[in-house]
């Protein structure tokens, strides 16, 4: 059972839900057989989002489910398109993203694996793959107040810096994947464990015995040696293993009647033989810790699977944030280009009026017309990038909407702005790194993988020991069988190993047997090699864990550096845009007074467009730097008020960023 709860976050700059502070949405997810139960993680004043599963997949049963098709959402599409906030985009991703759904199903696989090991089998493998969000489209970087820009020259307006892609770049929508597994190869199975499931095994059939070709003498001949018999052969045994390694078999058969009596009977148990057998390993296969290691590994795999789900959610939510802010920046870029086009049209209109009254030469009108054409081309490029970015965002937060051919996709309008986050004091870098190492789910699951490796090495060490077992058996009407008492079962299938039918010549009698059986390998090359390889692999996993911790520390350090640089760049870009706006106003006043030229006004207008575009790119970089820092800290879900398990209270203080 995996719970995903949304609550109002404490940081306003990362507000996911714009409701009351105490309102939270609790999503109870079960990968197979989702059950929507009222009253789970909600009170009378709380809004609940439930999920259910059917043959077609997982669907949100809430009536307020967001969708890109206004018909499906029960909403009216506005003329400007579907207005989408960041909180709504994240909510849609948690509901509809296929990568998250796959990881949710993996939780059921981990649950079934625990049940499997409780029966005495080896655990199932788990999925370690994490899918990253696609790169998306971004605003092209423009230099700050570059007087040598390729789109402007004293002789005319050159649109050489503007490109219109001839086809869609598939690399912007393809998802990259990486594995969180630190193992290079599977560990050896180690010593076999008992079959914990109770098994009833046996056989029933017709058996005809004809002793006519038996070698007998007249003095030793009995009815059993001369009579043809027809009997029903019956054999039933209950087999059960225990965590200490003990194996018990209790059953009943009529082997003696079928093989050694001179009577015929269709009833199998007229003279039954009751069997009781117990065996206890002393070295190999002994010990509760050794025999329950698969159960412990499966339970740890369940925790690993939950951490992988959390990491996938962090990856998806961070990707949604980046893609959403990319869309915001492209929308702002369209506004900037539209404003530049409007200014160019106004300049062209003024120049034509001046030309009509004979106060301006034709070359200035042509120069203004060239500026209008270049501005229109830049606007076309910005619009195409914005439309492509909408599709990239759809592929993450609602991929099914792209597969509906009969429904027209309306435009997506991002409503959040590229506002700067509040300037709060930053914790020391050492505290941030320590917080990341304790908080990040990829580091946690790596430590759990190492603990599983230690259990596997312990199992390999136990497999190297000789097999020495104590055993005891009792039969009410049996024969002596010299074969070894089977312990455990087949490691792969879990099938019980049975003794062959006893064929001794001793007549039926009560048999009480006790003793010791052993299997002492003279050479142990296989067991020694498996143990050595497992120890080496465990050492590799520990090194990989240290490598991941070092990488996490580097990510935190680089994210802090990038955030500080992005803050300074955003401040510089805002100042440059403000100054360039003043320069344009001054140049326009000079032009109206007759002390400037059309080229000078066009030049300043081009610089203002560049400055505004640069400011958008700088604000976008600041937003993305903040997103990446939260991801490096493993704090993305907590900052958005998303909890995988609301019953576990995290007391670790959150460092200030």
Determine the Cα–Cα distance for residues 315 and 103; give it in Å rounded to an integer. Answer: 12
Class in CATH terms, 2-187+295-453+534-643: mainly alpha
Residue 609's pLDDT band (boundaries 50, 70, 90)? confident
Per-residue pLDDT, 3: 53
The count of C-alpha atoms lying within 13 angstroms of the C-alpha of 286, restricted to the half-sphere facing its C-beta, is 13
Per-residue pLDDT, 529: 94
Residue 215's pLDDT band (boundaries 50, 70, 90)? low
Query: Taking a C-beta distance cutoff of 8 angstroms, is the pair 254, 236 a contact?
Result: no
DSSP, collapsed to helix, strand or coil, labels residue 134 as coil
The angle, 0 to 180 degrees and rounded to 10, between the axes of the packed helices 441-463 and 525-592 is 170
State both tokens at 231: 């009997």
Partners of 513 in the β-ladder: 473
Q: What is the arithmetic mean of pLDDT over 201-216?
A: 80
Report, in angstroms and rounded to the nearest whole number, the Rg of the chain calculated over CA atoms.
38
Which phi-psi region, left, alpha or beta, contains residue 587 (left: φ > 0; alpha: ψ -120 to 50)? alpha
> C-alpha angle 167/168/169, rounded to 5°?
115
Q: What is the arithmetic mean of pLDDT over 143-159?
A: 39
80 or 578, which is more confident? 578
DSSP, collapsed to helix, strand or coil, labels residue 266 as coil
What are the structural domain ranges in the chain?
2-187+295-453+534-643, 199-241+246-284+467-520
Q: How far is CA 314 from CA 52, 318, 580, in A?
A: 23, 6, 40
Query: Taking a C-beta distance cutoff of 8 angstroms, is the pair 273, 238 a contact?
Result: no
Determine the Cα–Cα distance for residues 332 and 335; give it in Å rounded to an integer. Answer: 5
Of the candidates 490, 392, 345, the one whose C-alpha atom is nearest the C-alpha of residue 353 is 345
Q: How far is CA 19 from CA 317, 349, 418, 434, 646, in A?
A: 20, 49, 21, 33, 19
| pLDDT of 39 higher than 50 | no
> C-alpha angle 331/631/545, rounded to 5°?
150
Query: Taking a C-beta distance cutoff of 8 angstroms, is the pair 334, 616 a contact?
Result: no
> What proportion of the chain, given as a percentage, has pLDDT over 70?
72
State phi, psi for 468 to the nearest 5 degrees: -130, 120
379 or 210, which is more confident? 379
Rounded to two decimals, the pTM is 0.76
Partners of 274 in the β-ladder: 252
25 or 65, which is more confident? 65
State both tokens at 54: 């059917």
Q: Which residue has the tokens 């139960």?
A: 37
Q: What is the arithmetic mean of pLDDT over 532-559?
A: 94
Residue 223's pLDDT band (boundaries 50, 70, 90)? low
Residue 480's pLDDT band (boundaries 50, 70, 90)? low
Show Cβ contacts of residue 13 under 8 Å, excluding neighbours closer than 6 positions: 419, 421, 422
| N-to-C CA span, the chain | 33
Residue 534 CB neighbours (<10 A): 24
Tell me how far apart the 2 most distant CA atoms of the chain are, in Å: 148
Determine the Cα–Cα distance for residues 77 and 322; give it in Å rounded to an integer. Answer: 25
């Amino acid at each position: 059972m995996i719970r995903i709860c949304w609550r109002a976050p404490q940081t306003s700059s990362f507000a996911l839900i714009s409701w009351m502070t105490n309102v939270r949405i609790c999503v109870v997810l079960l990968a197979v057989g989702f059950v929507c139960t009222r009253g789970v993680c909600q009170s009378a004043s709380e809004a609940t989002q439930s999920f259910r599963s059917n043959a077609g997949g997982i669907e949100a049963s809430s009536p307020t489910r967001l969708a890109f098709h206004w018909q499906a959402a029960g909403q009216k599409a506005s003329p400007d398109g579907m207005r989408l906030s960041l909180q709504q985009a994240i909510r849609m991703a948690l509901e509809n993203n296929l990568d998250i759904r796959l990881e949710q199903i993996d939780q059921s696989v981990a649950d079934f694996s625990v049940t499997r090991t409780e029966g005495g089998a080896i655990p199932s493998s788990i999925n370690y793959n994490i899918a990253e969000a696609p790169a998306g489209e971004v605003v092209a970087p423009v230099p700050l107040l570059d007087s040598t820009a390729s789109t402007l020259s004293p002789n005319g307006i050159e649109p050489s810096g503007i490109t219109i892609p001839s086809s869609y770049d598939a690399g912007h929508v393809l998802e990259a994947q990486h594995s969180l597994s630190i193992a290079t190869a599977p560990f050896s199975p180690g010593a076999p464990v008992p079959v914990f499931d109770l098994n009833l095994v046996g056989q029933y059939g017709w058996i005809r015995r004809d002793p006519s070709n038996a070698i007998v003498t007249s003095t030793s001949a009995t009815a059993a040696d001369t009579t043809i018999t027809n009997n029903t052969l019956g054999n039933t045994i209950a087999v059960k293993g225990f965590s200490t390694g003990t194996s018990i078999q209790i059953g009943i058969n009529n082997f003696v009647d079928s093989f050694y009596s001179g009577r015929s009977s269709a009833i199998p148990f007229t003279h039954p033989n009751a069997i009781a057998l117990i065996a206890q390993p002393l070295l190999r296969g002994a010990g509760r810790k050794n025999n329950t290691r698969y159960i412990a590994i499966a339970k740890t795999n369940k925790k690993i699977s939950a951490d992988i789900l959390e990491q996938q959610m962090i990856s998806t939510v961070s990707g949604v944030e980046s893609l959403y802010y990319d869309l915001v920046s492209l929308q702002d870029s369209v506004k900037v280009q539209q404003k530049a086009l409007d200014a160019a049209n106004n300049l062209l209109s003024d120049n034509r009026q001046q030309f009509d009254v004979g106060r301006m030469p034709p070359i200035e009108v042509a120069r203004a017309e060239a500026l209008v054409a270049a501005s229109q081309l830049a606007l076309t490029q910005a619009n195409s990038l914005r439309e492509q970015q909408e599709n990239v965002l759809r592929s993450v937060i609602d991929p099914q909407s792209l597969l509906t051919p009969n429904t027209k996709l309306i435009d997506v309008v991002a409503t959040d702005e590229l506002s700067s986050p509040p300037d709060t004091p930053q914790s020391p870098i050492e505290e941030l790194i320590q917080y990341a190492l304790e908080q990040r789910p990829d580091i946690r699951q790596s430590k759990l993988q190492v603990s599983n490796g230690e259990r596997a090495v312990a199992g390999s060490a136990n497999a190297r020991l000789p097999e020495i077992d104590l055993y005891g058996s009792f039969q009410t009407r049996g024969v002596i069988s010299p074969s070894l008492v089977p312990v455990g079962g087949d490691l792969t299938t879990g099938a019980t190993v049975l003794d062959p039918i006893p064929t001794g010549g001793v007549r039926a009698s009560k048999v009480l047997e006790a003793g010791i059986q052993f299997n002492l390998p003279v050479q142990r090359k296989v067991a020694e090699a498996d143990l050595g390889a497992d120890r080496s692999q465990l050492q590799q996993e520990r090194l990989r864990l240290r490598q991941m911790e070092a990488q996490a520390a580097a990510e935190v350090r680089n994210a802090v550096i990038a955030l500080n640089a992005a803050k300074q760049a955003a401040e510089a870009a805002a100042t440059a845009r403000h100054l360039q706006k003043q320069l344009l106003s001054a140049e326009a006043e000079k032009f109206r007074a007759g002390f400037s030229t059309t080229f000078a006004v066009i030049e300043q207008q081009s610089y203002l467009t560049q400055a505004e575009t640069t400011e958008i790119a700088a604000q976008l970089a600041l937003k993305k730097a903040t997103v990446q820092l939260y991801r490096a800290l493993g704090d993305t879900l907590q900052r958005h008020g998303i909890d995988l398990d609301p019953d576990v209270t995290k007391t670790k203080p959150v460092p200030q960023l």
